[in-house]
Amino acid sequence: MIKFAIVGMGHIAKKHVEAINEADGAELVAVCDAAAERLEEYSAKYETYTDLDEMLRTNQDIQVVNICVPSGLHARLTKIVAEHRRHIVVEKPMSLKLEDSEEMIRIARENNVKLAVVHPNRFRPAIMKLREKMDQGVFGTMSHANATVRWNRGQAYYDQAPWRGTKEFDGGVLMNQAIHNLDLMLWFMGEVESVQAMAATRLRKIEAEDVAAAVVRFKSGALGVIEAATTIYPKNLEESLSIFGEKASVKIGGSNALFIETWDMEDGVEGEKESFNESIKDNPLGKPGHQWIIEDMVQAVQENREPIVSGQDGMAPVKLILAILESAETGKEVKLA
C-alpha cells in the first residue's frame, strides 16, 4: 500500500479523502491544516498535524502528499514536500504563475519525486471515448475547436473565504472554473502558438475576471475559440468541448461536459452516439476522476514512471491562461514561446 497524506482540509480535500479510501493500493494515514478546527472530524481515523514540515519530519511512512490549499500556495508547499523526498499530487491550477510551475517541475525532478496535477475530467467516459477516436486518427486534418464554460458562481460563492477571486491566491473564471476544459482542449489539439483575448469583471465583486473570451491559433495551424463565464443566470448552463476535423465533428456537452451531443464521422457506426449515451446515462462520470489520479500515482510510484497527468501537462493550461490574461490587458496578440 502506498501511504498518502493531505495538506489543506477545505472543501476539495473531501474528494481526496474519498478518492484515496476508494483507490486500489492507496491508504490515507495523515491530514494537515493550519486551522486545527478543520482537523477535528478526521482525528479519529488519521494522524493530524497543523504544520506540514513537522508532519513530514515525524511521519516517515508518508510517501505521497496531496496538496489542497489555495492555489497561490501550491508552489511553496510543493517545494517543502519535494525537499522531504515525498511524491506530490497537486490540485488545479498547478500554480498561478508560469515561473512557479517551472520551479515546481524543477524541484520535483531534482529531488527525484513524482509530480501529478489533478485534471480529473480526462477520465470521464465520453472524454475517453473521444480520446480513443482521436488516437485512431479519424479526424484527419484538424480545423478548429471550441471550449465553452457558461456557469453560475454567485457572490456568496466568492464570499465564502477572503482568498476567493483574488489574483494572488485564487484567480478568476479561467484559472478556477475553465481550466479543466482548457486542459482537455490542449490535450486534443496540442500546443498553442498565439492568442488574442478579452476579459472583464462584470458582475461579481472580485479582483479577477468573471468572464473571458479568446481566439487561439494552435501550432498545427488549427484555430480555437474559448468562452468562460461565472456570470450565467440563474444556474450552470453549459460546459462543452467541440472538436472539428476534415472527417469528423464531435461535441461533448451538457451542463458539465458529460454526454456526446454530436458524433459525426466519415467511417462512423450508425447509432453509436445513442448507444454510448444510453450506456452511461446512470453514471456519466464513471469512476471518479480523483480516484483515477490517485490510482495512477500509486502505479507511477510502483513502476517508477511519470504520472499520466504530469507537471508538464499541468503547466500547459496555466501558460495558456496567463497568455489570455496578458492579451486581454494589453489588447495585443500574445505569442507563446
pLDDT in tens, 14-24: 999 999 999 99
Average pLDDT, stretch 238-249?
98
Closest CA to 314 of 67, 52, 33: 67
The CATH number of the domain covering residues in 122-286+318-335? 3.30.360.10
pTM (2 decimals)?
0.96
Q: Residue 207 burial (CB < 10 Å; 0-12/13-18/19+)?
A: middle
CA distance 250 to 239: 14
Please tell me the predicted confidence (pLDDT) of residue 15: 97
Measuring CA to CA, how many Å separate 111 from each of 73, 78, 80, 104, 143?
20, 11, 11, 11, 42
8 Å CB contact between 116 and 82: no
Closest CA to 91 of 13, 186, 166: 13
Please tell me the predicted confidence (pLDDT) of residue 337: 76
8 Å CB contact between 50 and 78: no
Q: What's the fold here for domain 2-120+290-308?
A: Rossmann fold (3.40.50)
Buried b (16+ CB within 10 A) or exposed e, 171-193: bbbbbbbbbbbbbbbbbbbeebe
Domain boundaries, the chain: 2-120+290-308, 122-286+318-335
pLDDT at residue 178 greater than cutoff 80: yes
69-114 tens-digit pLDDT: 999 999 999 999 999 999 999 999 999 999 999 999 999 999 999 9
Please tell me the predicted confidence (pLDDT) of residue 45: 97
pLDDT at residue 187 greater than cutoff 90: yes
39-79 tens-digit pLDDT: 999 999 999 999 999 999 999 999 999 999 999 999 999 99
Cα angle vertex 290, ends 289, 291, to 5°? 90
| Cell, residue 238 | 453549459
CA distance 49 to 58: 10
Please tell me the predicted confidence (pLDDT) of residue 224: 98
Helix 311-330 to helix 98-110 angle (10° resolution) is: 160
268: confidence class by pLDDT, cuts 50, 70, 90: confident
8 Å CB contact between 258 and 124: yes
Please tell me the predicted confidence (pLDDT) of residue 269: 86
At 232 the three-state DSSP class reads coil
Average pLDDT, stretch 149-175?
96
Q: Which residues contact 202 (CB under 8 A, 6 or more apart)?
A: 210, 211, 231
